[in-house]
Amino acid sequence: MWQVLSNRLRHFFHVVSNIRPIVWIGLYVALAPIFALIYMWLPDSQFRIPDGAGTDFGSWLYYSIVTITTLGFGDYTPAHGWAQAVTAVEVTCGLILLGFFLNAVGSMKSEIDVESEIEKQRAVHFATEREKLLKLTPSILHSLNLFLAYCYAVTTPVKERRDSDARYDPEFKFSDMTDLFKPSGLPFDRSRKPAVERLLRCAGQTSLALDALHTRVDLTLWEDIVDDCFAFVANYQMFSSMETFSEKPAVEAEISRKIASVDGSQEFKPDSEMYPVAELYYFIKDNATLATKLEAALTRVAGGRDRQ
């Protein structure tokens, strides 16, 4: 029984503490005119009223304010039962409401202090994670730039590649990948290996870098970055055609000829010789877009334009 009573009292005070102070002070102020009306309805004989003093609403409002604030000037005094009872009730109600008001103020201050501490900890956490991200940003940007450069090489015929303006075109067509088996021709790539091979190796390295970034930094602070990182890694892991490109010159030449003859983005069946190229087409479309978005987001962070 006592446990039940204790729990109910605890719940009651919890509810009372969550009521805003303005409510309690409003009720406190509202009591004065309410009790003034009650005093005015009571017979004047219930009170000792000074000679010449009024008995209108304004006079009783004055007495009510003096009573509820416990000032007790003594000019108007309750002389008999009903007046004394009502006066006692008003004083009690005033003290209770004032106590609830002070309790609500204390509760609100505690709430503000807690929120301030949480905000402080959040700011410290953000600053710490941002510092980690800034340290890793140059290497991540380098990986993304390499990936986009190889995307440009694979999706641009050799005769149209430019050293000075090697920018990936997101509007490339399927037939633009005719030279994917030829060397990339990029200034930093002297391996002479097929551009598609270099692209897939770079994609794997970029995927590992983004996955490692997520383990080292709390990327949930940057929702756009964490979503794009997950998407890039997931796309790479689901890309099933990484090891299916032929290394035989005759076969590669035949595939390049078929790529050039495709009009638009034709669909191929999984058992088709061209299916790996179609998968590569959509892989580049998706992940190059993600790489571009990540590059912009990380550059924004590095430039200090992500402050909370």
Per-residue pLDDT of the chain (308 residues; tens, 9 = 90+): 677 777 777 777 777 778 888 998 999 999 999 999 999 999 999 999 998 888 999 999 999 999 999 888 889 999 999 999 999 999 999 999 999 898 888 888 988 999 999 999 999 999 999 999 999 999 999 999 999 999 999 999 998 887 667 789 999 999 999 999 999 988 888 888 999 999 999 999 999 999 999 899 999 999 989 999 999 999 999 886 666 666 677 778 888 888 888 776 667 777 777 888 888 999 999 999 999 999 999 999 988 776 55
State the DSSP H helix or E strand holding residue 47, giving kind and residue range, or none if neither. Answer: strand 47-48
pTM: 0.71
Which residues make Cβ contacts (< 8 Å) with residue 83, sequence separation at least 6?
39, 42, 46, 47
What's the CA gap between 152 and 261, in Å, rounded?
A: 20
Which residues in 97-122 are b (16+ Cβ under 10 Å) and which e?
Answer: bbebbebbeebbeeeeeeeeeeeeee
| Residues 232, 216 contacting (CB under 8 angstroms) | no
